[in-house]
Amino acid sequence: MQTGKASQPLIAIVTGASRGLGQALASILLGCDFIVVCAQRTPSKLAHRHVNARDAYLDLGDLQIIEQFSQRMRDELPYVDVLINNAAICPEDSGMQDGPPPWREVLNVNFFSQVEVTEGLMPLLESSPRHPRVINISSGDGELVFFSPEVQDLLRKVPKRRSVSHLRSVVSELLSESLERDQLSDQEHVYHVQPAYRLSKAALNAYTRTAAKRARICNSNVCFLSVCPGDIDTEMGDPHAVQVAPEEAAREMGYLLKVAQVCDTDKFLRHGQHLAW
């Protein structure tokens, strides 16, 4: 993968850049002179249209592919300035879901795989000559207020340990409890619709906090943010909500991509305002 002629080009990776918000964010980055790796299952149109866009295959449902992807990035890129973990699924969205929530499928794609990708790219982020950042695209649906006091307590305590492996095992335990004993039901522990999606975004937020706290203690300059983009007119978006076009949502997040400046870290933002975790 050629990274261009400039000595220290701006480099970003966007997951799920095939459509929706991810495609719009990749376009904004290209407009700001970034080389953008569009990490996706379905090839995007961007790589054909823009000289600085590169396609790289990434299926967040397959751990082996994630490992191959990270290895390829480490082999081919000198560093990464911006990683946007955007790809996600919400199969509960259709309202056609029968049976228990698809905990494992959703947690795997929206949480465990995002952590895997980010941890695999950490050496590249830490090599950035600028102020590198990881932007986890989250959702207000992941606010802890939607969970029982027990789940809130668990997810609040985790970042204090600053250990990503501890976070992984806490979420795994929560998941097996939900699968094996059916304890984590909408009524008992998640107080709203789309419980698997909500839990995946709350867990992703816990990762943002854990990784930010770890970076601080290790003197790493990588910043970690969770960002809720608001309601967007995409395949995943809620057609009953007041939505904006993905291009508008991406433009609004443009200020987060200025890597010459220090970035906020350990924050959950929507429209530039802080959300409660």
Give the rounded distance of the alpha carbon of 92 from its chain centre: 19
What are residue 79's phi and psi, to 5 degrees?
-170, 170
Among 36, 137, 190, 263, binds ligand NAP (CB under 6 A): 137
Q: Which DSSP helix (H) or strand (E) runs through 103?
A: helix 103-107
**231 near ligand NAP, rule: CB under 6 A:** yes
Among 181, 235, 260, 273, binds ligand NAP (CB under 6 A): 235
**61 near ligand NAP, rule: CB under 6 A:** yes
**195 near ligand NAP, rule: CB under 6 A:** no
211 contacts 134 by C-beta, under 8 angstroms: yes
Nearest-approach distance from CB 148 to ligand NAP, in angstroms: 22
Q: Which stretch in 76-84, 86-94, 206-214, 259-267 sits in contact with ligand NAP by CB under 6 A?
A: 86-94
Q: Which is nearer to ligand NAP, 167 or 250 (CB)?
A: 250
**58 near ligand NAP, rule: CB under 6 A:** yes
Neighbours of 242 (CB within 10 A): 8
Among 9, 19, 179, 252, binds ligand NAP (CB under 6 A): 19
What Cα–Cα distance (Å) separates residue 11 from each residue in 122, 220, 259, 264? 14, 18, 10, 19
What Cα–Cα distance (Å) separates residue 124 from each residue in 16, 120, 157, 223, 265? 20, 9, 29, 13, 18
**18 near ligand NAP, rule: CB under 6 A:** yes
118 contacts 85 by C-beta, under 8 angstroms: yes
Residues that bind ligand NAP (CB under 6 A): 16, 18-22, 40-42, 58-61, 86-89, 109, 137, 139, 228-229, 231-232, 234-238
